[in-house]
Amino acid sequence: MTVLENEFLKVAIDLKGAQLSSFYNKQTGIEHLWQANPDIWPWHSPNLFPVVGGLINNQLLVEGQPYEMGRHGFARQSEFILLEADEVSASFSLPYCEKTLQVYPYKFDYQVLYMLIDNSLRVTHKVINLDKKTIYFSVGAHPAFNIPFFKDENYEDYYLEFETDEHLEANMLSADGFFTGETHPVATPGNKLHLTRHLFDADALVFKQLNSRMVSIKSKKHDQSVSVEFPHYNYLGVWAKPGADFVCIEPWLGCADTQDHHVNINKKEAIQTLHAGHVFEAPYFISL
């Protein structure tokens, strides 16, 4: 476990998945990150690579060749290497190996970089192309935040506040987690999405047309909040396991397959392209 700390925050990161496992507000004594109750949802903040979402038949197609891969890719289940760390920053690496080449035929170094900056944590997804050819991938974040913040509150006291005016359309998912091509409107009066216990009964709300690049978790009862800012991410997922005391705010550069539309990786929706020898970086921020 790697721990970073400044006067505002204390955070912890696991080597498995380079996963953020604690986001602790030192000023209020609040642990804001879901603590991975295995009976409900056994994750804190998984890092998604080299795919986001589900693949039809759990198969990634590369030049017509199928490769077995589960939902959200293999990074979250992998042991990372700690490259370097100090009091306020740490870098983790997942380089390609024979095992990854069997399911994802590209040579890469996928890194997750953490840095505390005052009352914010910057998390950067970094991909280095070590191959002699173009590689294709997606990255995404999946942090889960405890709700309510305080014991005397209810889940329904909370809402998500979007940065700018939104007329949101959620992209519908099938029972298998694939896009159906249908959308439905999501009410956001005053740029607020009010949280309820049944909001996610039909799975995640996935927004592909979003003006905002910041979403804040707020309460009707006090001014404590947590914000997620994602300047470089075009898609956003919002999800909670129905009835659980958390909400996930998920910036994505990639998404699940569309049903009946199994295509090669280079044709996948929102796929990222990285030429030989090039480096990709996309930070997002969690702030008090």
Q: Give dist(CA 35, CA 145) in Å, integer.
A: 9
Q: Region 112-136: what's the mean pLDDT?
A: 98
The mean pLDDT value of the chain amounts to 96
Q: Judge residue 79's burial from the number of C-beta atoms within 10 Å of its C-beta, 0-12 exposed, 13-18 middle, 19 or more buried.
A: exposed
Measured between alpha carbons, how far apart are the two ends of the chain, in Å?
A: 23
pLDDT exceeds cutoff 90 at 102: yes
Q: Copy the structure tokens of residue 118.
A: 């005052």
Q: Give dist(CA 34, CA 37) in Å, integer.
A: 8
Predicted pLDDT of residue 13: 98
Beta bridge partners of residue 143, listed in sequence order: none
Q: At 210, is the pLDDT very low, low, confident or very high (cuts 50, 70, 90)? A: very high
Q: At 260, is the pLDDT very low, low, confident or very high (cuts 50, 70, 90)? A: confident
Q: Region 163-167: what's the mean pLDDT?
A: 92
Predicted pLDDT of residue 243: 87
Percent of the chain with pLDDT over 70: 100
Q: Tokens 């987690």 — which residue?
A: 177
Q: Tokens 């800012």 — which residue?
A: 229
